[in-house]
Chain A
């Protein structure tokens, strides 16, 4: 099924930790242990370096693009305990804001759905999580959740807004902000904003080692919600909530052969990408029967299904 591979030679001087394509697929942001963030323009398989952002003072772990309606905005988080928000104006990138309220490496950063405004959440090895928002007055504000996870917090992911087409659209909705976090206490936690404070709404306990990544699936018109979590215990768990109440049911994928570092959902929410320590990355999809299966390669080149049918009436496809 794969038809085109293009390589981006980033020119980073050290290990690359994250690579994210922007909302429309026109740009790529990469970050590295060389403390820089690089932005490339990618179109039709060709790439050009647009900018090199140097403000961090340590390895940069993740980058995240904000929704284009706020203009070209990028967030990066680093070992230097800071989150930096960058903005491009008139073709030049500059630092828009710096969030430096953590005592230790900031490991993950995730933008909230655009309906909530320009808001992001980040988490740190100091165990805390902070939600940073751009206020109407034009300033930046943040709220910190201390001790979200003991020892450290590794990943955060924001819940999608109520999607179009869902049964709830059109009804007056109190916009509830929620995100999920995963930490070194082996837990996955869901947080909800209530009366201007963040409270722990649910604690999902099924991993036996550090949770390395969490990802909340995009909303696809069903009431059901899905969260994927992966851990050093070599397992990926897909948690589902039926849209009523706060109970989450775990569904484990077959155990992998090594640590799983990263999970991410496709834009349309139906494919989960899992990558980890066993030289493999895989894509998983839910079947009609509700099972999660790994996508197979299309069998066009294998054995019987070798050549295309000839019209000599011979039996090949």
Chain B
């Protein structure tokens, strides 16, 4: 959307020592930051053709472009609005236009109440820039409210003006303040703001309040005052229909008549008041400073010239009002957004909002809401809007993912963004540091529930690796199995096996016993499980089975070579049993294994152990042959 290709002076001006050709080299950090360091390219290292580096002792700077933790009131806004957002997603698009608008209107109002709730929180908080933040939220609510009135709500002629009047009253509160001051003054009419307040109340269509103030005037009771009071009393309330227009014109004709007849001749102030009622353009222009904004002028003027008009005429009135305030060049960003909302120019509204507001809250949620509007008659839904919504939601969701406490909300938004959102989420979930078991499990659960199995696996592997480094082998094994990574599982099983070899004990024996079908994940793991079983069998005195298992472990190559010595040592007590636990065939197998070891040079023939082994094998062989012979015969 930004067609601006001017170079930007990115980031900030950093205090750097001055060098002739100082450059910045930077690399991206994790999510919302970059790391940069100054590199002096003036001094080139010509040998390698590489650039020179930062001046000696030069610092490296980490620059964050969004806080990694948002303030409390913002987090409140983000959490509450995420709930509204979710509800909006499940809003039935198939219902009739009127029903749909009603649903959208309700949701829009909920968004606004989120904004107001945050405003209260900010006001109640003791932060330094509480006021700035409150004003920001206020502006956002203002823009949203106007968009809601103009775009979401059903347009019903004169009632639009009524809504706009409410809107102006909410946001132009200067007259409430001065009314309070004036009423408390000793002599209200002498208060410098007295008449401006009266005018202000009338301009905001608050005739009753104006009348109350007039009552405080010493001149109340005199003819001009009575007359003015009556006119104020008889203003027809805003309504729809040709009927209203008729009555209203009749009433204004009355005002004009009385004014021209000179009833208010002696009171210029009252004259001004009635001129307002007569819709005198010059008077309105004179009072523009009191109103303070073009939209106030627009609404007030329309109220007293043609209060039955609809949006289209209001747009012209808006242009005229803006001229009074100095023309389009004097418009602030907020003014521009409001005008765009009034014009129904969603593109301009969102573009300005994106350029001015410090975060994507407004643009993302508003775009999402507006996207669902049924086609506005004659206008058609802008085609760019759905792409824009997608883009804004992706950005907003990603920004949430960078936050320490709100990262789970990020997923709520990215889920709505199709394939790209999913890919982003995968990248971002991977980057969350699984500092604790609980967090890791949460990340994995989020990944798995979205079918992001690669992410889940990699997080589990990281946890497994960390547990392994911390010596918590059982935990590590659990993670390894969770991650479905056989390499890690094998490595761990190896470590456990080696541990046994050195310490003679099994760490994490319980865990290994309950492996069950997970054993199949890796050969080494299978071996580990079977070896534990061997020990169990031995302890239970099922010696024959234990013996068979032992032989199988060696002959099936399931046992790693380095472990064979240990297995053979384990076999020794079994070899001395009477009746023999090993059959002749099994004994030959064992002997073959010993032979393999000898050939590969792993056997120390001179050791006592090996001698004992060979003796035991030979003994077992003849005992077994005798036993088998006697069975045979």
Q: Do A and B bind each other?
A: yes
B422 in contact with A221 (CB, 8 Å): yes
Instruction: Of the listed stretches A191-199, A242-250, A262-270, name the one at the interface; the rest are far from the partner chain.
Output: A262-270
For B7, the chain A residues whose CB sits under 8 A away are 280, 282, 294
B61 near A: Cβ within 8 Å?
Answer: yes
B27 in contact with A273 (CB, 8 Å): yes
Pick from B23, B34, B334: contact of A273, CB below 8 A: B34
Task: Give 12 A-B contacts (CB < 8 Å), ordered by A residue.
Answer: A3-B66, A15-B52, A16-B53, A68-B465, A154-B49, A164-B423, A164-B451, A167-B419, A266-B28, A273-B27, A313-B291, A316-B332
The residue in B6, B8, B55, B418 that gathers the most chain A C-beta atoms within 10 A of its C-beta is B8
For B51, the chain A residues whose CB sits under 8 A away are 261
A229 near B: Cβ within 8 Å?
Answer: no
B74 near A: Cβ within 8 Å?
Answer: no
For B171, the chain A residues whose CB sits under 8 A away are 311, 313
For B331, the chain A residues whose CB sits under 8 A away are 304, 315
Query: Nearest chain B CB to A307's CB is how many angstroms away?
Result: 8
B422 in contact with A312 (CB, 8 Å): no
The residues in A between 273 and 301 inclusive whose CB is less than 8 angstroms from any CB of B are: 273, 275-283, 287-288, 291, 293-300
Nearest B residue to A184 via CB reads B49
For B102, the chain A residues whose CB sits under 8 A away are none
B603 near A: Cβ within 8 Å?
Answer: no
Q: How far is the CA of A67 from the CA of B14 in the complex (A)?
A: 32
Give B38-65 as 1s and 0s: 1 = Cβ < 8 Å from A's Cβ atoms: 0111010101111111111111111111
The residues in A between 221 and 264 inclusive whose CB is less than 8 angstroms from any CB of B are: 221-222, 254, 259, 261-262, 264
Instruction: Of the listed stretches B426-434, B550-558, B614-622, name the one at the interface; the rest are far from the partner chain.
Output: B426-434
Give B318-353 as 1s and 0s: 1 = Cβ < 8 Å from A's Cβ atoms: 000000010000111111010000000000000000
For A313, the chain B residues whose CB sits under 8 A away are 171-174, 291-293, 296
For B437, the chain A residues whose CB sits under 8 A away are none
Known: A15-B53, A69-B458, A288-B384. A304 touches B333 (CB 8 A): yes
Interface residues on A, range: 35 or more
A316 in contact with B28 (CB, 8 Å): no
Pick from B9, B48, B138, B330: contact of A311, CB below 8 A: B138
B519 near A: Cβ within 8 Å?
Answer: no
B22 near A: Cβ within 8 Å?
Answer: yes
B127 near A: Cβ within 8 Å?
Answer: no
User: Sorted from nearest, which 8 A-B pairs have the closest CB atoms?
Assistant: A15-B53, A221-B423, A165-B422, A25-B30, A317-B334, A313-B172, A164-B426, A24-B433
Give chain A's interface secondary structure class: loop
B28 in contact with A221 (CB, 8 Å): no
Known: A167-B419, A273-B28. A288 touches B388 (CB 8 A): yes
B173 in contact with A299 (CB, 8 Å): no
For A61, the chain B residues whose CB sits under 8 A away are 50
Instruction: Of the listed stretches A26-34, A95-103, A139-147, name the one at the interface; the rest are far from the partner chain.
Output: A26-34
Known: A33-B53, A89-B469, A304-B332. A24 touches B431 (CB 8 A): yes
Query: Nearest chain A CB to B223's CB is how many angstroms away?
Result: 34
Give chain B's interface secondary structure class: mixed
A6 in contact with B26 (CB, 8 Å): no
For A293, the chain B residues whose CB sits under 8 A away are 2-5
A10 in contact with B332 (CB, 8 Å): no
For B11, the chain A residues whose CB sits under 8 A away are 2, 281
A269 in contact with B427 (CB, 8 Å): yes
Query: Nearest chain B CB to A125's CB is how many angstroms away?
Result: 6
The residues in A between 91 and 145 inclusive whose CB is less than 8 angstroms from any CB of B are: 104-105, 107, 114-115, 125, 136
B136 in contact with A308 (CB, 8 Å): yes
Known: A5-B62, A165-B423. A15 touches B55 (CB 8 A): yes
Known: A280-B10, A296-B2. A220 touches B423 (CB 8 A): yes
A202 near B: Cβ within 8 Å?
Answer: no
A317 in contact with B60 (CB, 8 Å): no
Nearest A residue to B424 via CB reads A268
For A221, the chain B residues whose CB sits under 8 A away are 418-424
A282 in contact with B138 (CB, 8 Å): no
B235 near A: Cβ within 8 Å?
Answer: no
Q: How far is the CA of A274 from the CA of B5 in the complex (A)?
A: 14
A267 in contact with B48 (CB, 8 Å): no
A19 near B: Cβ within 8 Å?
Answer: yes
